[in-house]
């Protein structure tokens, strides 16, 4: 007759194993266990269901983030991380070409954590990360995800947002798709295109004859 270990027996075996490992080995096993649990979890479609600890050297920043944090806010963020700990993991996706994980959200938390000091020492050079696998190998999806995270907090720079709209337009996204994916209305997309000042972005749009140049 097939016998199964109880949850208590599995937990006891795992505790015994972890107690014999080095810190790096322990973190690796914890990540493996979390990944396995995530695979069978009813919430496996939610990135936050699986928070992994990654070395900061495994992560790299993106080149399009429109979010800028003032010095005072960054200082407060550092104090919060030190006093309250990490309550929001970094969001990233794998970049197969570089074997790195590109940050979608949480760049400033990442920057503060990797600098030498109390926070880096406490985290042993690691940061908590959740992955968005569907954004891998697709820069436009990564850009859209970054903007959605920033806009949800009401923090983004207009000029940087306009540059992203321009790039998405060059990547083949029409106004409707940009509006839908970035949570904007049509007028906002138009205003951001106007900020760019690029006439080619309006090439397929008809304007009222009431607009004249004298």
Report d(CA 17, CA 153) in Å as an integer. 42
CA atoms within 13 A on the CB side of 78: 17
93-97, 115-119, 124-128, 153-157, range with greatest mean pLDDT: 124-128
CATH number, span 51-156? 3.90.1530.10
Q: Which two tokens stand for residue 205?
A: 């749009």
**Closest by alpha carbon to 92, among 79, 70, 109?**
109
Q: Could you give the 3-state DSSP secondary structure of residue 106?
A: coil
Domain boundaries, the chain: 51-156, 157-204
Question: Which residues on adjacent β-strands are paired with residue 25?
Answer: none
Supply the pTM of this predicted model: 0.69
Q: What is the DSSP letter of 61?
A: -
Q: Is the pLDDT of residue 121 over 80?
A: yes
Place 66 in a pLDDT band, splitting at 50, 70 and 90: low
Percent of the chain, pLDDT > 90?
A: 45
Place 186 in a pLDDT band, splitting at 50, 70 and 90: confident
Condensed to tens digits (0 to 9), the pLDDT of residues 78-120 reads 889 999 999 999 999 988 788 899 999 999 999 999 998 999 9
Place 195 in a pLDDT band, splitting at 50, 70 and 90: confident
């Amino acid at each position: 007759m097939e016998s199964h270990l109880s949850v208590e027996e599995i937990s006891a075996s795992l505790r015994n194993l972890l107690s014999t490992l080095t810190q790096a080995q322990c973190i690796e096993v914890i990540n493996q266990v979390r990944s396995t649990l995530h695979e069978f979890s009813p919430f496996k479609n939610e990135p936050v269901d699986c928070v992994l600890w990654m070395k900061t050297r495994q992560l790299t920043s993106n080149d399009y983030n429109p979010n800028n944090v003032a010095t005072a806010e960054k200082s407060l963020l550092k104090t919060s991380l030190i006093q309250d700990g990490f309550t929001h993991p970094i969001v990233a996706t794998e970049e197969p070409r570089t074997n790195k994980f590109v940050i979608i959200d949480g760049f400033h938390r990442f920057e503060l954590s990797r600098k030498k000091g109390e926070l880096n020492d406490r985290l042993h050079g690691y940061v908590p990360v959740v992955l968005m696998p569907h954004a891998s190998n697709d820069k436009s999806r990564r850009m859209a995800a970054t903007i959605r995270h920033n806009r949800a907090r009401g923090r983004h720079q207009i000029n940087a947002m306009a540059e992203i709209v321009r790039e998405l337009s060059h990547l083949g996204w029409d106004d409707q798709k940009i509006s839908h994916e970035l949570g904007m209305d049509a007028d906002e997309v138009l205003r951001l295109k106007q900020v760019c000042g690029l006439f080619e972005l309006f090439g397929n749009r008809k304007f009222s004859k009431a607009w004249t140049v004298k």
